[in-house]
Amino acid sequence: MTSTGTDLSIEEYFECLHALVRALPSERAALSQGRVLAEPLVARLPLPPQDNSAMDGFLIPQPSSPDSLTVPFTLPVVGDVPAGAPAQTLPPGTALRIMTGGPVPAGFDGLVIPVEDTDIPPGPGPLPETVTVHRLPERNHIRRRGSHIEAGHQLAGAATLVDASLIAAALSAGVDTAVLHRTPRVTVIATGEELLNGQLPDSNGPMLDALLSTTGPVDIARTVCGDSPVELRRRFDAAAADSDLIVTTGGVSAGAFDVVRAVVEDAVERGSYWFGHVNQRPGAPQGHALWDGVPVVCLPGNPVAAFVSAHLYLTPLMRSLRGLPRPTGVLDRPHLTAVAGADFPHPHRPLIQPCSIALDGSITAFPPPGPRMRSHHVAALPGTQGFALLTSPVTTGEQLTVYPY
């Protein structure tokens, strides 16, 4: 798609970007936080893996009838069964001291008397010679093999995020590797001669590095390039050789030194790039391309415009690249309904407004203090926790939707 000079809506541009990416190829690797399953994860072991005790107490044979044992009664204690020990056979008329998780012989018809229902004090102590039972439990307190899940049970489907809960379940079920989507490799190129010569510090590159790192595991290479078309083309070639995504900042408008747009339009086949305006503030100038088959997202250079554009477009794009379910639209993301704690700026076109969020019995959103936020007002960003997409005026006390960063 090449630029026609016609504005795109936020939703249209979002769809254009997502048409560039597919979930990354898969590999078998150790389960780790933030990776994404490419195939369903299946239990190798049943849970529990064996019959075991659900309580600290004493294992005794199941009475033949409710009336065959009358409490209190006393039995000799013939052994200890801590968790991790082998199961022990229990002779008739005896008891075993057993700990939570201690194995019970497979299919053994018995019950565990909680230690609190005996004459033995809870806690560490020598093996008693006898135990007197004061009360029989209403259930047997034995967890049967496979009573939670059987081997072969699907723990999670493809496109599931690996988190602490899944790691716990998988390892418990004997699974420590999975078929996972590969970790994304992203190259960030901040452009502008003013960054290279030190006239301005590069804030966009480190900002994108930090923001991309919040999306999950990612390998990031970051560089700064001046206004040399030859050098920028060399950086694109190098990045395309070992990146899954290239992100640039600056140089996307129609100025004489907007080098990103100039290089892409010169080097990339027509139909494989777009530069133009998106109907939004801040960050109207945007662009995208395919460089040697690698998606390129071209963000504006003004810091606030780059920041909000990255949240609006780049973080959802990373979800798709990592193998998570593709968003159905630009606003398919977590959100809060808040009350405006102050008047928000009047939007002359769709306004991506950073805001702070206060949780004090209700959810209240505030625009940054001071004058209307401009695309270079980067010092107004600290303290904001999300953004609102405003298409009409919002005054104090009205409701609005806030999308946390």
Above pLDDT 90, what percent of the chain? 92
Cα four-point dihedral sign 166, 167, 173, 178: positive
Is the pLDDT assigned to residue 3 strictly greater than 60? no
- For residue 309, which phi and psi values (nearest 5 degrees)? -65, -40
Local confidence band at 253 (pLDDT 50, 70, 90 cut-offs):
confident
d(CA 379, CA 368): 10
Is the pLDDT assigned to residue 61 strictly greater than 60? yes
Secondary structure class of 66 (helix, strand, coil) = coil
Task: Give the least confident one: 88-97, 108-117, 122-131, 253-262.
Answer: 253-262
**CA-to-CA separations, 199 to 195, 196, 205, 230, 316, in angstroms, rounded:** 6, 8, 16, 22, 33
d(CA 63, CA 50): 23
pLDDT per position as a tens digit, 387-397: 999 999 999 99
Is the pLDDT assigned to residue 179 strictly greater than 90? yes
Copy the structure tokens of residue 173: 């079920």
Q: Write the DSSP string, 339-405.
A: EESSPPPPPSS-EEEEEEEEESSSEEEEPPSSSPP-TT-GGG-TT--EEEEESS---TT-EEEEEE-
Beta strands in 226-322 (DSSP E): 245-249, 273-277, 285-291, 294-299
d(CA 128, CA 158): 52
pLDDT (average), residues 294-299: 98
Phi-psi group of 390: left, alpha or beta (phi > 0 → left; psi -120 to 50 → alpha; rest → beta): beta
Copy the structure tokens of residue 17: 């970007």
Superfamily of domain 52-143: Molybdopterin biosynthesis moea protein, domain 3. (2.170.190.11)
Q: At what angle do helices 10-18 and 315-322 cross, to 10 degrees?
A: 30
Residue for token digits 């480190």? 206
pLDDT (average), residues 300-315: 97
Q: What is the model's pLDDT at position 171? A: 98
pLDDT (average), residues 275-296: 97
| Residues of each domain in the chain carrying CATH 2.40.340.10 | 336-404
Is the pLDDT assigned to residue 299 strictly greater than 70? yes
Copy the structure tokens of residue 164: 């602490």
d(CA 129, CA 365): 67
- Residues paired with residue 225 on neighbouring β-strands, in sequence order: 191
Q: What is the model's pLDDT at position 374? A: 86
Centroid of chain to Cα 137:
43
Cβ neighbour number for residue 63 with a 10 Å cutoff: 15
d(CA 287, CA 285): 7
Q: Starting from the edge strand earliest in sequence, which strands make up the sheet with 185-191, in order?
A: 219-225, 185-191, 245-249, 294-299, 285-291, 273-277
| Residues of each domain in the chain carrying CATH 2.170.190.11 | 52-143
pLDDT per position as a tens digit, 319-348: 999 999 999 999 999 999 999 999 999 999
Secondary structure class of 3 (helix, strand, coil) = coil
pLDDT per position as a tens digit, 30-45: 999 999 999 999 999 9
pLDDT (average), residues 220-225: 97
Is the pLDDT assigned to residue 5 strictly greater than 70? no
pLDDT (average), residues 168-194: 97
Q: What is the model's pLDDT at position 255? A: 72
Q: What is the model's pLDDT at position 68? A: 74
Q: What is the model's pLDDT at position 6? A: 66
CB 356 within 8 A of CB 366: yes
Copy the structure tokens of residue 95: 């008891």
| Residues of each domain in the chain carrying CATH 3.40.980.10 | 10-24+183-322
Is the pLDDT assigned to residue 245 strictly greater than 90? yes
Q: What is the model's pLDDT at position 370? A: 86
pLDDT per position as a tens digit, 123-139: 999 999 999 999 999 99
d(CA 272, CA 277): 17
CATH of domain 336-404: 2.40.340.10
CATH top-level class of 10-24+183-322: alpha beta
Q: What is the model's pLDDT at position 371? A: 83
Q: What is the model's pLDDT at position 66? A: 64
User: What is the average pLDDT value for the chain, to the nearest integer?
Assistant: 95
Q: What is the model's pLDDT at position 98? A: 98
